[in-house]
Chain A
Amino acid sequence: AQTVTQSQPEMSVQEAETVTLSCTYDTSESNYYLFWYKQPPSRQMILVIRQEAYKQQNATENRFSVNFQKAAKSFSLKISDSQLGDTAMYFCAFMKRRKTSGSRLTFGEGTQLTVNP
């Protein structure tokens, strides 16, 4: 079974600064995906960024980037130039890669990020 651990229940950052959210996971799988989801107060789950485990290059989406360390099973999210709208709960998630069927997401417990003006 897979587990995902987010060790920072809460974090805060000043607007325009950079913040890094940590995530570690445990799995015996070799093919998988990792995700960061954002859940604002509206509670809608919004995909922020994804990483395929077979790709060595770290994924980047505008102000969001990841540091994927496969051997260490670490997958941190860096948010640059933080904005007030980034205030949300952030969830790290794991998914096995399957060719012929779907696969469940396994989520961490979340990190509540507050961006201060």
Chain B
Amino acid sequence: NAGVMQNPRHLVRRRGQEARLRCSPMKGHSHVYWYRQLPEEGLKFMVYLQKENIIDESGMPKERFSAEFPKEGPSILRIQQVVRGDSAAYFCASSPPSTGAILNEQFFGPGTRLTVL
């Protein structure tokens, strides 16, 4: 069972361009979370999605950022018109469907390091 996959691992964009980050959850996992890690900081929650639904986007900036998790295919985090402050590592985590009392552990991908020039 492959782990959480993220691509690309490194992404360089110029200011004003668009960045698309992809996350393929582990097999059987229907919950996806995106976190951002700015340099020298901890991870900050951005958005939580289930298949075709955004459950919690309270950590995501209101402008320029969007996320989706379609019925088929990976979850996508999209950043439009990137600025230098978007430079960070973006981590995706996945977990299996909720099963009551059992802990839904989140398994992390290797992250995508976005650099905005």
Contact = CB atoms under 8 A, between A and B. Distances in A.
Interface string A42-54: 1111010010100
Interface in A79-105: 91, 97-105
A40 B56 CA distance: 29
Interface string A37-71: 00000111101001010000000000000000000
Contacts of B108: 44-45
Interface residues of A, number: 23
The main secondary structure of chain B at its interface with chain A is: strand
Most chain A beta-carbon neighbours within 10 Å: one of B89, B91, B108: B108
Given A43-B89, A44-B108, A52 B42 contact: no
A75 interface: no
B100 A50 contact: no
A38 to B, nearest CB: 11
A98 B45 contact: no
Interface in B73-117: 89, 91, 93, 95, 98, 100-101, 103-106, 108, 110-111, 113
B45 A102 contact: no
A99 B44 CA distance: 23
Contacts of B69: none
Given A43-B111, A91-B43, A105-B33, A99 B103 contact: no
Interface of A: 33, 42-45, 47, 50, 52, 91, 97-110
